Every structure is written in structure tokens, then in C-alpha cells.
Structure 1
Amino acid sequence: MNSRNQIRARMLRAALLAGAGSTLLIAATPAIAQDAPAPQAEPEEDAIVVTGIRETIQNSINTKREETAIVDALSSDDIGDIPAISVGQAIQTITGATTHREKGDASEIALRGLGPFLSNATFNGRDASNGSGDRSVNFNQFPSELVNNIKIYKTQQASLVEGGVAGTIEIGTLRPLDFGKRRLQGEVKAQFNPYGDRVTGGSGGIGWRGTLSYVDQFANDTIGIAIGVQRNDTNNPEETYAASTTWTACQASPVVANGNCDEFERREYGQDRPFYLVPNAYTFRQISETDKRDAVFGAIQFRPTDTLDINLDVQYSDRTFVESRRDLNLSEGRVGLTNVVYDENGIVQSLNGLSAIESNGSELSRSEEYLGGGLSVDWEASDRLTIKLDGSYSRTIRKEIERNVRLRTAATDVNGVRTVFNNRRIPYKYEIMPGSFVPTITIDPRFDLNNHDLFWEDARFRRDEAKRHNEIFAGRFDATYELDGFLKNISAGGRWSRLTYRDYDLRNEDPSLVTPTATDKRINNICRQAFPQTDFLSAAKGNSINSWATFDVDCLFREYLGTEDPGLPDEMRSVASRNVKETTLAGYVMADYESDLGSMPVRGNIGVRVVNTRVTSKGLRSDLIVVPDPSGDGSFTLDETGDFVTETIKSSNTRILPSVNAIFEVAPDTLVRLAGYRAMSRPNPSALGAGRTITLEGAGDFTSIEDAIDNIRANGSPRLKPLMSWNGDLSVEWYPNKDSLLSATVYYKQFNGGFQPVVFDEDFTIDGETVSIPVTQTRNSPDKSRIYGLELTAATRFSFLPKPLDGLGAKVSYNYADSNFETQDIRLGDQYDPVTEEVSEGIIPPAGLSGYSKHVLSAQAYYDIGPVSLQAIYNYRSSYFQDFVGGNSQLRYVGPSETVDFRASLNLMPGVSLRFEALNIFNEPKATYMPVYGSSRQYHYYGAKYFVGIRARI
């Protein structure tokens, strides 16, 4: 079955499951309508204590019903009752929400099939920093056991101040006085990852997480405290095939026997020549990993009088993971290409090539520390006037250190014996087998990948250190005055925030490393390592590479350099660094209204918010020098001279955002909602940088610097403005009883503007010579585009079934979105010329919005009765374009995602329960494509994860 058929099969399964769930609900509807009276007529049921998954779904349905905006939620009255192993996993069970997977877990959230760029996320009502360089909350930093409500606003209202085009995600922790009871709770979970059992010398896939929380009230319920701590010590091994992130369009002819393929250059695009797309390199990677996280959440609530409520809350998380990576790298993906077979889109089906082969090893560690919190004061100044003040702070520091070593093939082995190839380049064949994503790369059988003697030349050592610092100070003031009559109250307020984002990415590389052959031989022998995994990529159909010669990275650094960690370079400044400050001042006015339209109750709100943003972005500029590669192969790098000049770019914008929400209670159990609003989504902080990233075209025989430099890419565009949209929503919701919901929402979004690559010529001094180099950036285009969509939710408990089947329940949610938004490839797509004001057409099709999926489906079946609670969750997300953080990169697509999770709990005795969770039980991998959909770029395999634990509460 080919990839297109696989996608069709997945979509068919998704549609069948959605249809089955909907059919089940429809079949149950007559019984629901006949057997269950309206909620207000159920005093008997009000006396029943509902717990577990049923309680969570009931709370979610009630929240949706009571909110003025269109809202979906996941909440529990108790701490630790959100049914998920992580906040991201929990969110993807909410209607219209789906996730991007990293390391087998849910990370960034997309709402209504729209990427995290179009959403706004807050923690306890405040913006939260992260270490990714974007504006999404890093949900992996927050333990789900210490969160008790998650709310998603699908439509906007003025009191949200900023909001987002797709929606606003609000994560909340409890306030101890509002909680109203003493609770001491502890939980320990053991993790088992079967994939980890294939990694030799590791933990065998075993990990654990422990959580302890305490809530109490003192001094006649005027002071309350809540504190929760968690230690997470798990592992997430991974295996992957990947092509590089730079792809080139090669002309079908002429064939260059021993050099790079002949590039199809932009000035030739209009000649309609055939071309095929190839990356610079291919890599097979095996990863062993450990992941540790310590988290502390705390709150103190003080209520000295009935009119004054003061709350202080703090969140701290420190996460560190360490990866040992072993790579087999074909570093010359464009050299000696012959017998190329490709389709009409330029996607290669098969080819023959020549490449040096490298055994690369790296040790990578990443630490991410989050500190956030705030002080809020709620004061009832009079019977009608309420004033709220809030000050907050959020800081994330992410630091990543990678030590990498390269050992290459040569014309001889490490013993000086000449190989049969008489040069370093080894013949290989690349082909895509039917039904396979991972290409079959067959190395010439005369070359033994597992022979350590063949990897020794051009030893290269790099130490890369990257640091991202994101900090937010914010303050907010709100006042609400109650009125009589049609207008219930009027609210007004303001918000000030200052966000700073700084990063650097520094490389320390020894360019003069030359060692005698005898030393190479000795080190090669003592630093050899057995391949650290069994059955590498065995789940990938067509894969033919299962192991290769690997080396101990610490040993190689120690023996060649005399130290395992050479540290930072002497010069800490770099032209690629970012330094962004964003100051926001916003204000709003909103009125809530309630009345009757004839005999039909009507309520809602109307308001307007004004948001002013000022951006100051600083970048460094420096003259450059050429640094030849010590191997003498003709390649080189560029380095700064050390004389830097600061470039400061400022921009500002003001946006007016009106909104209106109306709810019509057409029947006691039926609501119709209307919403219209203008919304904005800001560029990521990392996309506002003023630095420059230098990209070389690769090794080869160059006649000039201009030929060698592919381009100098801006690592941000400080003058980018928010993406604006006008939005309309219509929702119909039916609430037949506390456990049931049937809703349908149609929505429309019109975007005023988009994003388009633009190229400016900038002068650079290289080796004393002034050279004009094209610098690629992104600008706001004048294009208009739109999205329309349909969102469906059906949930019920089958209470009409005979006992014990009356504990069965189901929830199905589906979102369909259609968009004509376009994002161009930075190299091969349309480009705007600021001099001629013309757009030159590219040769590959554009992508849509980053994170946009046409289909999103979540289906849940649960059994919740007595001491037993069972839940199965199916999630499907169709393919989507995902931009690289920082933007200004080539197009990357993520293939369809289909996962099944399972959760179970058993109450052993009052306050003690046994819990089991299984994630991705069918071992669904993740596949990505570049720069057109269908062109294989990366395959990630993580396997399933299992958790078993026990929880006790008193």
C-alpha cells in the first residue's frame, strides 16, 4: 500500500469511527429524551456523588453551557483528577484540540485544526514564557496531576484582552480556600517503554514519576495553602531516518559525474525545465535518552473579609534530558547523481549517488527551567463595584549543549590499506519501496558499515551551545460595575506587559586538528563501541540499514583534544544572536447584557479592546573571514572578525478588536450562540530577531565567495505585524441531561494579510572584499485568505441500558476546516522583489497555515461505575504544514497522526486507587516531508509507553 492509500485508509477509519460514535448517540437519543427529564427536574440525581471520568465530562458539559463565549473545557473538582499523563494529552481530548507530538508525547496544541501560532495560551490567566522561541505554552513542563481545569475559548470577548485567532487556552490550578477541604494526596507511577528494552546498557525502558500534594485551610477559613511537588524520571528512546533541512531543485540534465548536481536557479524558473528535489545529506540516527523533571506548584490564599481576596501562586519546573546520539551520515546527497527517477512533482523515486559516509556521535543535554507566578487581589469595593489587580512574572531559560564528533571514510582504512573504491566516496542506491516511508538506501556491498577500520579520516570536533531566555513581566487592572436592567454590568480594564527574548547559538570547533595516522589507529581501536541497540528501524518497511560502526564520544574527545568538554569559544558574540523586547499596552471596555426576546431568554456581551505593541530588536553585524577546512577538500566556513556593530530595528502597531457574543435559549435544554469578533495572532518572539544566519552551498570548487554562499538568511523579521482576521461563529447546543451534549458549530475567518518571502541585497565585507549577498526575510503580504469550518461534538452516558452496562459512555468530536491561506517556500517558492515590486513565481506549491489540519477527530469510550473506571481514546489528525521555530525556513509537512491511548483505575478502598495508562498502544510513528508533501524527510519511531501506579488520599 503506498503512502496515499495509507492516508485514505486512515481517513476512512477515522470517518467510520466518527460515524459509529454519532450513530450510537443518535440511537441513544430517544431513550435520553424519554427517560431523562430536564436537569432541573432531577433532585434524586443531585444527591448522587459522581466521580471519575463521568464527573470530568459532566463538569466539562456544565462549563460549556454556562460560559458566555463558545467554550470547551476539561475540569475536575479535585486535584489530580484530570485523566491524562500530561497536560498536552489531556487537552487533545477536548473538542477541536489536537497536538503536535515530540518524543512520543503531546506538546504544542492546535485548535480547530489551526496551528499554535494562531492560538493564545495562558496559565492562571497570565501569559507564560517558554524555551521554544514561540508563544505556545510548553505543556510538558506542567504535571497534569497538579492542574485541575483546562478551558479553551473558541470565540473571543473583550475581557480576554488579546486572545487569538483560533482561540485561547487557559490552564488553571486550584485556589485552596475555594477548594474548601483538607487533602493530602500521593501518587507513584512506574513507566515501561518496550522500545527502551532494545537499547543496550540503558535502563531497560523503566522509569517512574511521583507526585505529592497538600491542601488545607486555617484561621477560620481565612488562610488557605496548596502545594504540590513532582519528580519525573523516565526515558524516551527514539530511532529516526532524516534528510537535511536544506533541499535543492536539481536539473534533470546534464549529469555531473563526480560533483554536485546542476541546480535549477531562480533566473531559469520560467523556462519550464524538468527538475527533481534532493537534500544535502541523509542520516540514520539512534537515540538513547533519560528525562528528568522536578516541579513545584504552590498557592497561598488570604481572605481577611468577605470583600477582599488575595491569592499568591508560584510554579517552578526544572527539566533536563540527556541524549546519546549515534548517526550514520551520507554527507553528500547531491554528488554523482545518476539514474534519477522522479515524478511530476520532482519527488525522487530512485537514484544512484556517491557520498562520503560518516560515523558521527554526539552527546546532547538540554535543561529547561520555568519560574512563574503572580499576586492577585479581588476587592468588592461596594455592592456593585468589584476591582481586580494582578501582577505576574514568568521566565524560561533553556540551555542546550551538544558535543559532536565526525569520523569519515577515506581512500584507505585506518591501517593504511587502500580500499576497493580508491577514494572516500562510496556508491549507494536510494529508492522508495511501495508502502514505505523510509527510503531503502543500499550501500555498495563491498563496503562493510560495521567495520570500524573504515571510519577514521577528517576527524572533526564541535561543541555547540544554545541558550534561550524568555521573560515576561505583566500587570493587569479590571473593574466591574453591576447595573440594573438590560445591561447587567460594565467591565473595563487594562494590561501592560514586557516580554524579552534573547538567544545565542555558539560553536567551538578546532579547525587545525591534524593528527598522525598512528594516533588515529590507536584512538580508533580504544574508542570503538558496540552498536547500542537491537533491531534498529525494524518497524520501518524497506529499511536495509540496521547497524553501523559506532564510537564512544567522550573517549574520542578525551583522546584527540585532551578534554571531554572544550567549553565555550573565546568570542561569545555572534551575528546570529537575537535580542528582542516587546512592550504591550492594552485596554478594553465590555458590557454584559441579559433580557428576553419575547419568551426566549437572551444573554451575552459586547465590547472592544485596543492593543498597542512596540518591538525593539537588536542584532550584530560583523565583517567576515574565510576559514578553509583543514581536510583540504576545497570547502570552507565563514567566521566573524570580532569587530561588531549593533543594528537596532524598531516597529510598532495598534490594533482595535471589537467583539460581540449572543446566546439564545430557544428551549430549556437548547442554546443557540452567535459570535462576531476581530482577532490577532502575533509573530513568534524568535521570528522578530534582527540577526543573520549564513548558509554555505556545500563543499566544491568555487570561483568566488558569491558562488559559495547560497544566501545569508535573516533569522527574523522585526517589522512583522500581527496576523489579523475577522471571525464569525454560529453554534447550536443541546443538553438533554447532565451527561449528554450534542453541538454543532460553523465558523468563518477572513485573514487580512499573509506572509511572503522577500529578498534584499545587503553588502558584506568578506576577506576585505565587499560582496553583495541576497538576504531572505519574511514580510506581511497584502493577500487576503479565509478559513471556514465545522465542529461537531456528541457525548452521552447510556443510562438507559440495564445494569451494569449503564456505566458506559462515549464522546466523539470532529473538526473540519478548509483554508486557502498560502505560505511560500523560502528558497523554491514565490518571492517578492522590493525594488520592482514584482513577485517571481516559484517551482513548488505553497503550503497552508502552519499547523493547519483539514480533519481532526477525537473519540472516547468510557466505562465508569462503582470502583471501576475505564477509558479508551482515539485521536486522528490529518497532515499539516509545520514551520520551523524562527521561520524563514523551507516547507516541512507532518503526515497524518493516528494514536490510541487507554486509561483505567480501580478503587481498592476509600482513598486508595490503582491506575494504569497506555499511550500510543499501536506504536504509531511520526513522518515528515520536505519541501513538498510526499517527499520523505524524516521518520520518528518512539513505540508505546505504559504506566502503572497507586494513588492514596486522606
Structure 2
Amino acid sequence: MLLFKPSLLTLALVAAGASMSAYAADDINTTEAADENIEVVKVTGIRRSLQESQSLKMSSSSIVEAISAEDIGKLPDVSIAESLARLPGVSAQRLDGRANVISIRGLGPDFTTATLNGREQASVNDNRGVEFDQYPSELLNRVVVYKTPDASVMAQAIGGTVDMQTISPLTHGEQTIAMSLRGEMNDLGSLNSGSSDTGYRGSISYIDQFADDTIGIALGYARMMSPNQEERWQAWGYPENDAGDSVLGGAKPFVRSSELERDGVLAVFEYAPNDKFTSVVDVYYTKFTDDQRLRGIEIPAAWGTNGGVTSTATEDGLVTQGTIIGAEVVIRNDVNKRDAESLSIGWNNKFTINDSWSIEADIALSKAERTDIGMESYTGTGRGTGVGAVDDLGFNYNGNGGYDFTHDLNYADPNLIKLGDPLGWGSPLGANTQDGFINKPEIDDELTSFRLSAEYVFDQGDVRSVEFGVNRTNRDKSKLDKGYYLTLAGYDGTDNYLVSVPEQYLLSPTSLDFFGMGDVLSYDSLAFYNDGGYTETDVADVDLSRATNSWSVTEEVSTFFVKANLESELFGFPLTGNVGIQAVHTDQSSDGTVATVEDGVVTLTPRTAGDTYLEWLPSMNLGFEIADGQMLRFAAARTLTRARMDKMNANVNFSYNENPNDGVNWSGGAGNPELRPWLARQYDISYENYFSDQGYFSLAVFYKDLENYVYDQQTNFDFSTILPQNPGDNPIGNVSQPLNGNGGYVQGIEASLSIDFGIFVEQLSGFGTILSGSYNDSEVKETADSDPTTLPGLSEKTFNATVYYENSGFEARISSRYRSDFLGEVTKISLQRENVNIKAETVVDAQIGYDFTESGIDALYGLSVQFQVNNLTNEPFTSYTGDDQRLVRDYQNYGRNFMLGANYKF
């Protein structure tokens, strides 16, 4: 007997939805309590989505948040990440104007696990965090965020688990064909020659049932060609001048134009010959290409200019106005291109033996591959410093996103601006011979899993059932990081060898008027490279750090679990929930490289290292129905999040000092293949009041006691383990590497409210709002005496608000999401990752639409139209240096994206 009784409408909504994930079996039992003869009330659009999401939250044994599709192929937002960012305690970080990765309860992407139908997913980035813009929202039916785990959750994480779920064709129960098409435009226009400010996205889905509803199929295809434009200011840094004021060290402003092309395919095959056996095969594939052209200018200021910087105005310790004397600038024509593919295949089988026993077997494969090209091409007035034409650049702080400039030279003149190495950035073939650079990293990630479990249901007693089983996961991830210095193919060794850009590669000049530098020379640098315009020098031959950037990591994880599902009473209150435990055994290893320089040449030696360990993870989720429609939940668990894979490599680079001051001959840097996971004990209390089928209030507090944290530390290292033939008299040296250190805590409070105003006043029927907010706090220290460490992804405050109207086919909504300052991970030089301070932001989106099904016009039945604006207020993305937000590191202006489209279902 189910003690907590949602309304009949709620039960019908649960029963009408997609299949739940493999570890949400408790929630599926809710549908069995629904009477087969329930008359289902037809609910569509925004309210359908809200009601299904509420029913999932209400019936779950864990503390969860959920997003459900308004209709087939129609989630509330254009991307999964943007939808997730509207949930309580969840925030997103933008990349190139689109939501990309998420943080849950103040813990960044490293502490979040993503699953598809309950199965952990491989990722295209250097770590484990899934980039959610890889997954077309049109092919997903719902997303559930599990904030508290139970023992049957295999892919646990300290922050939370995000489960993306596809549809169940047999549960859907009717033949459906749905199509959508929408056009897209960016209001910044085409900033680079050859780029486009228009694009489109479309999808088609087909769902059907055969053989007396014993066979079901769901097929879907989604394609997106999305434009993205950006005006970007970047600063090198802000050193102090002789007066002690911060002054611009240098700048790299540019404009970026990109086309994001994504294809997604979904196939679900379901077979249920009777009520005892169900078999489901699902396949999910995406192909993702992001082609970016970046054109701009590098301006040396306090760093790198021969004439220095004069100051004419300062404000509170910052030079706000002045002149860069004798500036030698570099005109950049760069290309970033990413090709990524993701494939997920799963086969799930459930068999009910009798009224007491059932078994489940699940096998899955998830693969991800990524290839990047990051190319830089340099032009200027001379090869090396002090030989070309110079410019006196006036600058003025604009109070928002950097500085505005004045100039004298014509930087679009092909007779003045020529190919070469204007600032002498490298010398692969002699002095001043780095005329460009290209990075070509590749990522391969493969994850296989097998799960076998059983459940025994008791006839009576406080324990409703017991589940137990085993899960085996094997993961292999590797990175091949190649980089090359580029030198002009015809370079003859002369001091000032420059080449005019061949006419066939020249493009229309690019405007940098947004910060006052006018037009700059533009050309197709990638075509010039592909046609043999440069010779290449492998950086790994001369650079120790590059030689140890490639790695591979292997993990074999065996998880044994047992969980008791409870149904009882305590202190007179109905009680449901579960208690359980996992035993997690991990065998991890890495293949890497030992690199050192001998006689000016990098010498490489293979190295393999690793470790094994066992962790016990108990968990408890208890829910008390303290009144009709009111739940009080308690949860406690010990959870783990595995360490970053890019830090688990076995690489070591080192050097030998014959005459050290401290007596230590050996020093270097290393990864750590013995790195243990982050561990935490977490405690949750949640109050939920469901006062209508589309209205609830919830308040939750949580505390996560972090047992450890990973820090980059100096440690003693025995070099005789990697140099057995020649360890020297003292083989113990100093190495900088990631290590498990002291922990701390993360705590917070979050609240959410969903109201349909029609329940109060009939005249307000169709109006509603969804509000949520959270406050997070943390303290993590490397040692008891050290300063607290800022946790990546932690925003102290987040707020979300959506106001909507839906009635008689018409719908409108406006949504806003705010997150305060946080430490985010971004790309730096050579496509490496670094953490920077990111400024608070408020992103606003708006939609209006009409469903002609409500119009009474038979010919238009099933047709709906929508108009949408993303980033309505044109909110920039800003990072800054230190604590002074005026010291802007990176200011990105994306503009607004407008979309107009239609959906048709029959």
C-alpha cells in the first residue's frame, strides 16, 4: 500500500510520462497504484510540464528536482543546460553565449554526474563533467536531478546526479508524429567576413506501437545550425606602475563568429510480450561541430611595449586614461574548431518471476570522441621587436568591459600589415620565428557497464522490499595533446623576413570599432595553413610541459549494493523511504610519460602507475507525510566523486640541478595516478507542501561535510622509481602534484514556489509563476592555518523566476536566472583550462506562442507557433582579476538570439 497518496490527476500524469531511469524503480511503483479506469484530464503546454515535474518530485523517495517536456520534442528551453539552470540550487556557466555546464548546490561540474536513462555518460572534455549542450533537448522527455542518492544509484556524486530520460513508446500508448522547425538570428550581425548571423533548428519524432501493444518504437532526429557572434575584450593583466597604481599590462580584444552544427539521433525499441517481462534497447547519438573564426589585435602596454605607458588619469588606484607609447601590435586571424561525437547504447531487461521476486539486467556502452584545432596566425609591421612601424595608442577606461582606444596606423592595410612574428614570441627555427601556432588535442572516452540486480517484495511488515545487486563499470579515457610552432614556409633566415598575405586568402576587413581600433586585416588563415603556407615544429621536442600533456587513465569499478525500501509509521506519521549501503571497489591506473631534457633534447620514457581502494557508502532517505499533501524528508549519506581524470595521469617532468641551494637535486611536476576520490558525509532536511496539482512550496537545508579535497602541493618524490639506473646520491626530490588534503564543508538553504493563480481567482486562470532561490556557504582549507579555498562553481546566491500565461491556446512566459560571483573554469592559452573569477549575471529569456489546436480550425489541428528571445537584456559574461571587478580579464558581449518557429503533431 502506498501511504503518500498524490491526486488522481498526478497519478495519471506519472503514468502517461516516459519510462523512469534504471535506479528510479521506487518511483515507478507509484504508477501501479493508479486505477486503470481513471479519466485522464487533458493538460498541455507549460502546465503539463509543471504538473509532470511536480508529480515526479512528489512521488520520489529522494530529494529531487525535475523538468518534463511540454509535448513530444518540446522541452521548456532550447537547451538542457538552460532548463536545468532554472531549478532550485542549480546554476549554469555560459560558454560562447550558451549554457554549457552546471553546478549543483554550490559544487561545480567536477562534482556532478550525468546519466542517460540511469547510465553514466562518457564526456568530450578533459575531465568527467558532461557538456549538456551536446544533447539535443528535442530528443529528451524529461530530466531529473537527484540531490540525495540511495544505494541503488550507481553514478553517485557529491553535488548531485542529473539523469536525462528518453521516452517509453509503450507507456506513451499512441501513434505520434511530431515535427518542429525554427529559424534563428543573432542581433550583432555578421562580425567576421564569411560568417552568418542566421541559422535554424529542426526535429522529427515518430512513436508507434505494434503487435497488440507488445512492441513499441520511438525514433527521433534533431539538427541544429546555430549562429553565434561575440565582441570580446581580453586583458593580459594589470601590473603596478611606479606610483603603485594598477595599469593595463596588455590587451587582446577580438570578434568571434561561429557556427554550431549539431545532429542528434534517438532510437528506442521496447518489447513487453506480457506483464512479466520487458526489454528495452535505446540508442542515442550526437555529432557536434563548432567552427569559430576569431579576428582581433594584441596590444602590449605596461608589459611588452618599448615606450612605456603614460598616465593622465587615475581613479582609486587604477590608471583609467593614458597613452601607450610606441606600441607594436599584432593582428590575429585565429581559428578554433571542435568536432565531437557521442554514442550511448543501452539494453535493459526486467523479469518478474512471481509476486515476490523480480530481476533486472542492464548492459550499456557510452563513447565520446573529440578533436580540436586551435590555430593562431600572426601579422604585424615587422619581425621581432624594434624593427616595424609603431603607434601611439590613447586609451580610456570605459567603466564596463575594458578600455577604448585611439590610433593612427591603418591596421587593415595589406601593404603595412604582413605575415611574420611581430613580437618575437618564439624561436623554433631561430630568433623570432614563431609566425603562428596550432594545437591539435584529441580526446577518447569509452565507458562500459553491466548491472545485475534482484528485488524481493514482502507480503507484510515495515520493509516493503529489499533490492540487492552488483554493477561493474570499465572506463578508458585518453588525451593526445599535440602542438606545433608555425613558421612561414618560405622563411629564408633573414632578420626581417615578412610576407604579404596572398591575395587569394584576403577577406573583407573586420571592424573592431566596438573599442575604437577600426578595421583590421582579415584573411583565411586555416586555408593558408592547409595549402602549405607554414612549416611545423613539434613543441613536445623542446617543451617539457607539452611532452607530458598526453595521458591515458583506466578505471575498473565494482559496486555491490543492498537497499531496503520502507513503508511504515513512526510517531503516528506514515513513513516511506529506504536505507542501504554500497561497497565500491576501484582499480585505477594510468599510462604516462617521464620527460626530461638531455643535451637540449626532450627525452621520453613510458611510465605506468595506479592504485586500488575500497569505500563503503551508506545512505538513508526517509519521508514522513505530516499532513495531507505535506512531506517532511530526511536524508543522510556518504558519497564520493571521483578525482579529475586529467589530474590522475602518470606523467612526470623533471630536471636535475647539480648545485642546489637546498640540497635537493631533483625537481619537477607530476600527475597523480594514486589520487583518491573526494568523499563527503551529507545531511538533508526538506519540507514540501503540495497544495494543488500545479502548486507547491518546498524548503530544504543541507550540509556536506567534505572529508578531503584535492590540492596542488609540493611533495617529496622518490626519483629512483623512475630512474632506477641513475638515481644519484640523493634520489628524493620535490615535485608539484595534486594530492588529497584536508576537507571542510558546504552548506546551504534553498526554497521554491510554484503557483497557478487560477486556484485563487478564476479571472487569473492561466497565470502562474515559478520562483526559487538558494544561499550557499563553504569553508575548505588545505591546512588548519591556511586561508579558505574558493570552491569552483560556488555562487553564494542564485535566484530564478518565471512568470507565464497559458489559456485557450495562447502562451507567454518570461524567465530570469541570476547567480552571484563564482570561480569558473575557462580556456586559456594552448587550450588548457584554468579557474578565474566570474562576475554575477542575470540572464533573461522570453517566449510567446499559440497552439492552433485550441482555435477550432480543423485544418490547423496539431500546429503551434512560437517566438523566442534568448538573452533578452544582452547580459555580458565577465571575468576579472583578483578582488577588484574593474580589473576585467575577459568581457564577452553575445547579443540577443531571436527564434521563430512552428511545431506540428499528428
TM-score under structure 1 normalisation?
0.79
Report whether the alignment pairs 1:659 with 2:619. yes
CA distance in 1, matches of 2:588, 2:287: 29
Alignment of 1:804-819 (within 5 A): 805-819=764-778
| Change beyond 3 A, Cα 1:601–1:290 | same
For residues 240-298 of structure 1, what are the alpha-carbon distances to aligned partners after superposition, in whole Å with 9 as ceiling and x for unaligned? Answer: 12235xx69x6766x9xxxxxxxxxxxxxxxxxx896976x531122121221111010
CA distance in 2, matches of 1:162, 1:322: 33
Alignment of 1:713-732 (within 5 A): 714=669, 716-732=671-687
Question: Equivalent residue of 1:305, what SS?
Answer: coil
Match of 1:945 in 2: 897
CA distance in 2, matches of 1:344, 1:149: 51
Match of 2:873 in 1: 922
Please say if residues 443 and 478 of structure 2, whose CA atoms lie closer than 8 Å, have aligned partners that are also in contact: yes
Match of 1:367 in 2: 339
State the 1:184 CA deviation: 1.0
Question: Using CA pairs below 8 Å that are at least 6 residues apart, which structure has the higher relative contact order?
Answer: 1
Counterpart pick for 2:290 among 321, 343, 349: 321
Match of 1:478 in 2: 453
Match of 1:701 in 2: none
Report whether the alignment pairs 1:310 with 2:255. no
CA distance in 2, matches of 1:208, 1:888: 31
Report whether the alignment pairs 1:496 with 2:472. yes
Q: Which amino acid aligns with 2:522?
A: T
Please say if residues 609 and 673 of structure 2, whose CA atoms lie closer than 8 Å, have aligned partners that are also in contact: yes
Identity within the alignment, %? 24
Question: Equivalent residue of 1:852, what SS?
Answer: coil
Please say if residues 276 and 342 of structure 1, whose CA atoms lie closer than 8 Å, have aligned partners that are also in contact: no
CA distance in 2, matches of 1:467, 1:103: 21
| Change beyond 3 A, Cα 1:345–1:688 | farther
CA distance in 2, matches of 1:907, 1:880: 40
CA distance in 1, matches of 2:757, 2:889: 46
Please say if residues 486 and 537 of structure 2, whose CA atoms lie closer than 8 Å, have aligned partners that are also in contact: no
Match of 1:463 in 2: 438
Greater Cα offset, 684-693 or 389-398: 684-693
| Change beyond 3 A, Cα 1:277–1:45 | farther
Please say if residues 501 and 686 of structure 1, whose CA atoms lie closer than 8 Å, have aligned partners that are also in contact: no
Please say if residues 686 and 885 of structure 1, whose CA atoms lie closer than 8 Å, have aligned partners that are also in contact: no
State the 1:928 CA deviation: 1.0
Q: Which amino acid aligns with 1:383?
A: D
State the 1:452 CA deviation: 3.9
For residues 669-719 of structure 1, what are the alpha-carbon distances to aligned partners after superposition, in whole Å with 9 as ceiling and x for unaligned? Answer: 211111111111222222222336899xxxxxxxx999xxxx998574323
Match of 1:258 in 2: none
Counterpart pick for 2:836 among 860, 875, 892: 892
Greater Cα offset, 751-760 or 175-184: 751-760
Report whether the alignment pairs 1:227 with 2:219. yes
Please say if residues 437 and 936 of structure 1, whose CA atoms lie closer than 8 Å, have aligned partners that are also in contact: yes
Please say if residues 115 and 155 of structure 2, whose CA atoms lie closer than 8 Å, have aligned partners that are also in contact: no
| Change beyond 3 A, Cα 1:348–1:596 | farther
| Change beyond 3 A, Cα 1:202–1:335 | closer
Match of 2:857 in 1: none
Match of 1:9 in 2: none
CA distance in 2, matches of 1:776, 1:788: 31
Please say if residues 724 and 751 of structure 1, whose CA atoms lie closer than 8 Å, have aligned partners that are also in contact: yes
Report whether the alignment pairs 1:208 with 2:181. no
Counterpart pick for 1:751 among 679, 690, 706: 706
Question: Equivalent residue of 1:160, what SS?
Answer: coil
CA distance in 2, matches of 1:820, 1:798: 41
| Change beyond 3 A, Cα 1:380–1:450 | same
State the 1:314 CA deviation: 0.5
State the 1:95 CA deviation: 2.0
CA distance in 1, matches of 2:738, 2:316: 25
Please say if residues 756 and 767 of structure 2, whose CA atoms lie closer than 8 Å, have aligned partners that are also in contact: yes
Match of 1:674 in 2: 634
Match of 2:16 in 1: none
CA distance in 1, matches of 2:651, 2:323: 39
State the 1:757 CA deviation: 2.5
| Change beyond 3 A, Cα 1:446–1:570 | closer
Aligned length: 828
Counterpart pick for 1:155 among 125, 148, 160: 148
Greater Cα offset, 794-803 or 733-742: 794-803
State the 1:453 CA deviation: 3.9
Q: Which amino acid aligns with 1:850?
A: P
Please say if residues 487 and 534 of structure 2, whose CA atoms lie closer than 8 Å, have aligned partners that are also in contact: no
Report whether the alignment pairs 1:868 with 2:810. yes
Question: Equivalent residue of 2:181, what SS?
Answer: strand
CA distance in 1, matches of 2:610, 2:801: 47
The answer for unaligned runs of 5 or more in structure 1 is 1-39, 256-273, 413-418, 627-637, 696-703, 824-831, 833-837
CA distance in 2, matches of 1:529, 1:750: 57
State the 1:821 CA deviation: 2.5
CA distance in 2, matches of 1:800, 1:105: 36
Match of 2:26 in 1: none
Please say if residues 778 and 888 of structure 1, whose CA atoms lie closer than 8 Å, have aligned partners that are also in contact: no
State the 1:772 CA deviation: 12
Give the superposed CA RMSD. 3.9
Match of 2:592 in 1: 619
Question: Equivalent residue of 1:196, what SS?
Answer: coil
Q: Which amino acid aligns with 1:601?
A: P
CA distance in 2, matches of 1:732, 1:774: 52
CA distance in 1, matches of 2:214, 2:140: 23
Q: Which amino acid aligns with 1:748?
A: Y
Counterpart pick for 1:285 among 254, 257, 260: 254
Question: Equivalent residue of 1:654, what SS?
Answer: strand
Match of 1:577 in 2: 550
Q: Which amino acid aligns with 1:282?
A: A
CA distance in 2, matches of 1:849, 1:276: 27
CA distance in 1, matches of 2:154, 2:267: 26
CA distance in 2, matches of 1:714, 1:517: 36
Greater Cα offset, 352-361 or 362-371: 352-361
Question: Equivalent residue of 2:707, what SS?
Answer: strand
| Change beyond 3 A, Cα 1:680–1:276 | farther
Please say if residues 690 and 714 of structure 1, whose CA atoms lie closer than 8 Å, have aligned partners that are also in contact: no
| Change beyond 3 A, Cα 1:485–1:894 | same
Question: Equivalent residue of 2:794, what SS?
Answer: coil
